[in-house]
Every structure is written in structure tokens, then in C-alpha cells.
Amino acid sequence: MLDSLSLIVPSMISKLCKRVKVEILLGDTCMEPKNMIFPRKMCGEGSVVKRKMRKMDYGKFVHVEDDSPIPSIMGPFTSLASELRIVKDIIRSYVTQREFDASLSSQRKKKPQLVNLEKAYACLAKSHGELSISHGKMKKQEKSRDKFFTRMWNGVKCLWKLLKVNEPLPTSRSNVDRDEL
């Protein structure tokens, strides 16, 4: 069924997918080495599926269990298994299992703090949006007020240009009319 040049998803990737609860499609677990490996294709997501809106057959999903045997690496990629062991040994020499578990537990403790920070950020973003809306309204009111005062000032300047220097300011009634009353 599979030719010898096919690549089965490495055990590390399948374990990581299981840990993050990402389902792996049975058809996508085996790939030819000439094809490039895309992580989204491994977990059953991809631009082709989303772009063409294909219906997915959910009966193909395989749930990876802890006790299930992990497939070995076949074909020209057998050297990856030995390199992976070397990397694991190097990591184990620098980080003990206890330190690794302690870092995981500290990350789990930080998760509620991150949730609280996300809530505070959402609240801050909401209040920022409200403030920007009110600021826009105030700017609009100021602009209309400035237009009004600009028109008033232009009118006053026109009056001063029309008046002569020695003439008194025009009033509704002249001084002669006042004397008669």
C-alpha cells in the first residue's frame, strides 16, 4: 500500500499533536519525501480546504492514544531517528526531569494570570474605543464652533474696513434720534 519512500509523521510531531489535542487525518499521515511538509496539512487544515470549501469526511480522523504504538521513520529519513535521540540526550544532560516538570507547573500557574491580563486588555480596548468615539464628537463640536467664530471675525473685520477711522460705530438709532426723545 505504501511505497518505501514514504514518510510517516515522526513520533514527536504526533505526540505534540496529541498533547495539543489536534486530530491527525489518516490520509495525511503518510507523505512522499519529494513533497514539502506543511504543519497545517498534517493536522487536516489548509488553504485549499478553506478556499474551495470542500466537505471533510470526519470518519477519517484518527485519535492518537498514549498507549498506541508510535510509527517508526522509514525510507531515506532513517537518520533522523538517531539525530533525534542525540538531541534528546543533549537536552536531558542540561535539563533534569524535575526541572522540566517544575517549569511546566509554573507555566500552568501563570495561565490564570494570563486570562486576567487578557480580560483587562479587552476592557482597556473597549474603553479606548469609547474614548476615541467621544473624542471624535468633541472635535466635531469644536470644529463647528471654530467655523462660527471665524465667520463672526470675518464679519467684524469687514465692518472695520468699511468704517472710517474717525466715525463712531453705527448703532440702531442715531444720536439725533435720541436727542428728540
pLDDT tens digits, residue range 117-173? 888 888 888 889 899 999 999 999 899 888 888 888 888 888 777 776 666 666 666
**Domain-embedded: residue 19:** yes
Question: Is pLDDT at 109 greater than 50 in this prediction?
Answer: yes
Q: Contact at 8 Å (CB) between 107 and 36?
A: no
Query: Domain span at residue 26?
Result: 7-75
**Domain-embedded: residue 53:** yes
pLDDT for the residue 46: 47
**Domain-embedded: residue 17:** yes
Instruction: Give the C-alpha separation, 2 to 110, whole Å.
Output: 45
Instruction: Give the C-alpha separation, 19 to 64, whole Å.
Output: 9
DSSP code for 64: P
Question: What mean pLDDT is predicted for residues 56-66?
Answer: 49
Lowest mean pLDDT segment, chosen from 38-52, 73-87, 133-147, 150-164: 38-52
> pLDDT grade, residue 6 (50/70/90)?
very low
**Domain-embedded: residue 169:** no
Give the number of domains in the chain.
1
